Structure 1
């Protein structure tokens, strides 16, 4: 098969290409130089020919003046014949004014009109005396360029021969130099590169010079070093990758569009019940029934790849070699061919059979738990309703209890108080009728004292059942309670009221009073305090009541865990009036009971 010139040129070696380039370059330079030299020589010879023609014409115009005046044709012919043998002479013609051609001398070879140099000069006669010069004729000199052209041709051949010799010497010298300085190093570089490409990564190029070839050799060595490092890293990576694939707990495989397994790891074989990966691949290739992925499943997987670009978390049910069904989770991506289309599926299989069963059990337990939760929610709703009813009952009982206390207090105050007052009056009247100092008088005095004590006891009982101060507002009731606490416990109790007196419904005022009463009772029993402060603040936000002491304090968590009925009663009373109760206390730091009642339950006067 014949190669095209372009392919033949590409198949040449670098040395041949350089020599061809040199020949073409030298030929162009030599041709141009030869052309310039030949043209220069041609121009020089033609200029010299024109100058000779001018000199001959000028010479004849002066020398032929006298013979032409005398019409001495012989003298004229002799002068013309003297220069006629010159090979450059083509024709001499002498003409006289009014006479015509006097003499003509011709050479054998007559030139073409364009290959000759013509000079025409007037012949003038200078007569003696003062007479002016007179034109008596003219001389026509015709010189041929043939001689000059022959000389130019010889010079051309000499120049071309010299240039050819120089080109030959230059070609030979360049050939040898290129062979020694370029071809041999390039051949050695090519040999080293072939050795490196063949796997000899220890081969290195000898750096023979500091020119481009030397730097190229250095770069080849650097490339070999980096290639060696890359090869080592690649082998390590391959070893690590192979180790990861071989030791992976998940099945790794490569599946083509025909459903054939091209690669598989031991975990994949173990997952499907085969002794090793080779047996799995061999069995899948020899028997289509042994393929782990059916044709329909394979088409489905590649359709998913085409649509989504990957497969993530897809759960499948496969069959082991012994037909045992297993559940697996597939994660994979497509391996594209040269044309960009997906050719294979590179996947990762994880056995999720146990997890699948666990999920099913968990689903079953969750359904059962949801049923139990619904039952419990219904029970909680019933308990919440029962609690609400109990709270309503508690509030109703508390209201009844307070109302009963109020009724008892009124009954005691009205009935028993009146009887005791009447008894006291009767004893006083009896004393007026007895003799002073008598036994009866002394007995009457004792009866009066007992009556006074009984009246005082009745008043105290009445006040504790239902303080009369509550009828005058919560401020008066708390002020009376602080004073009563100071009288009975000898512990100073100071009451402070801020803002206007709030207007509260009787149940709320009674609850506030009972909470402060219970707080003071706890201080008297447990705090061992030397001072108590009761503060009532009324503002636009609502009522804030605090009872603080400087006693020994207590552990709130322990107190509540010990079922402190006093604290529970206070909390229950606060809940019944929609108030917030806060108790702050630490051992040896006193305690503060704070009650906050929002403004929607308070009427500020």
Structure 2
């Protein structure tokens, strides 16, 4: 087994690691503190420099007002010369409005290493005249002097920090050597003796600190190790007796397919005289190994995936090449690093049971074949019914699309022509003399055109109500009003909750269901009142159409192939809705349509 080299840090002693940790900690703290102090000093000096630049600029903006007004170049230059020897001064420039630069003092300067202040120079004439800007002063101070001072402070701070770190390191090194390293060396010596087999060795307890408590724990560990060794030897003797006398085959298998251990039952199961012969034959002749390379690889893959093997049936070969069936239960034995090393298994001969199961499987297969044939026939019937339902849905969609198209054609084409004809008749009527027979005929023609337009609107509305374009509630409200107008039966519509926004096919199907319900009521119910309610509940949309008519026998109606009820049920199925009809002779009827809350949005 390949061993990777120990990392350099892992080979260091605890004393060295503690010292390294201390150095890193102190260096980090010291470096951070030094950095903070240096930055504080740097910021302080730069702020002072900026304040000086501001004060100088403000001073010159006031003191140069009169000389600049009088264009007294000598007075201006004398004021600039008073401060120009300052090493922080990089530039003084005085400019006059309409004149340009009057006086300037410049030194070579890095553009990014400066503090610039520009102030206007204003002159206040005598009297109440307003102040007038006559120029400006540009003050540029270099940061170089401040940077030199900051560098000196930085060096001093880092020198102090280095000295502190060195003193702390030396003091800590001596303390750790006396208080940690020497006791640990003694503990290592005693642990090496225990690891070498001297279980009666004891560590001296020299203090009550952590190292002293560690020595006490090492002594307890040695005592418990002695007890564990004795129990392990007793357990090994018992385990060996169980393995040798077991009736199932017990074995250890490595990943190459070689048997590490096997009990007599394992050898007898595979046709060998003893476990020694079984192991020796498998080692000398790979072709005689109980498990083939493919089986071995598969078994270890199962162990890696599931951690154990339970009730796995395998076909093996005995020494005389007779095939046998066995049931395997196994678990994996891992190395210290967690990698899978050996397979510990238990084999049980299930050949007789396997043959009986095969006979039962043949009979079951025959029965399953017959059942599958029957299921196939049922599936074909279901598929045929589903195709018929899909065809019905497709035809219904086509009919609705045709109605929509015809309604649009009637409304757009015929309606426009009739409207134009009405306008022409009106224009013609205006040209005819009052009281003439032609004028009376024109009035009759206009009334006929108006009635025709109304008929066209009614036909288009019944084919595809325009109100559907404005929502289901608007369409149902129009439908109930139209029903009341034509049937002379009061029909009331009530909408509860927010109006749902449904896909056009679903809204059209709901509208048609209500339309068919009202048609049936008008034809058969002999009702005096109809109520249509569109309610938005927590479970979805619930539409109710109720009347106080004579009612009907639902069972008899369905047995008599009522196409109206069948059409309503089919439309409800196509939109995945639940249709319930409650009616008895003499007690009116209630039709409820429930649409689940999925795929419903609200306006």
TM-score by structure 1 length?
0.38
Q: TM-score, normalised by structure 2?
A: 0.39
Structure with max Cα Rg? 1
